[in-house]
Amino acid sequence: MTRPQFVLASASPARRQLLTQAGIQPYVSPSKFDEDQIQLSDPVALVAALAEAKATAVAPLFQNGLGLGCDSVLAFDGMIYGKPQDREDAIARWQKMRGQVGELHTGHALISPQPNRRTLVRCQVTRVFFGAVSDSQIEDYVNSGEPLNCAGAFATEGKGSLFVDKIEGCHTNVVGLSMPLLRQMMDELGYSATRFWQ
């Protein structure tokens, strides 16, 4: 079987870095899909639908592409949170989340190349235990700008690692892409991840 081009349908630098660190050099082709088209109250269904929509939007552009779409949200206190709207929103979220536990859901959609195109959609869930941080620490973190571009308003691969006490489950899932789940999905489609090593 010829090795296809690995296509990442996401502009996320964190997802790209995870793939690169694992030896996979993706071709980055961000989806232009309008995420507001999908409104679901169940976080698993929501991230699955968004991930599939992103991968499906990019797949026709690459005949020999193994396309990956992802989407992440934080479920906390009965609410679903994507990226914060602004600085005030991020501060308010952190004031609620500190000392509490949230669930980070990441949807993964993997589409195999033509002519026998197949689509797999999976979701990974990781529990995140937030630290009991002070108001001034929250303000400093939000002022750094980091949480404004992240689902749930935190990034464990950056400054936010100081404010997360513990993670239960897949660590890379919190960054935006579960690498073990990706390997399993690639296996299911008949592609060993090691064949993509550069």
pLDDT of residue 12: 92
Taking CA atoms, 190 is separated from 26, 55, 66, 183, 186, in Å, by 18, 18, 11, 10, 6
Length of the chain: 198
> Nearest Cα to 66, choosing from 108, 31, 111?
111
Please report the pLDDT score of residue 35 as a whole number. 86
Asked whether the CA dihedral 74, 80, 85, 90 is positive or negative, the reply is: negative
Domain ranges in the chain are: 5-196
Out of 34, 36, 42, 71, pick the active-site residue: 71
For the stretch 140-170, pLDDT in tens is: 999 999 999 898 999 999 999 999 999 999 9
Catalytic site includes residue 135: no
d(CA 191, CA 193) in angstroms, rounded, equals: 6
Class of the 5-196 domain? alpha beta
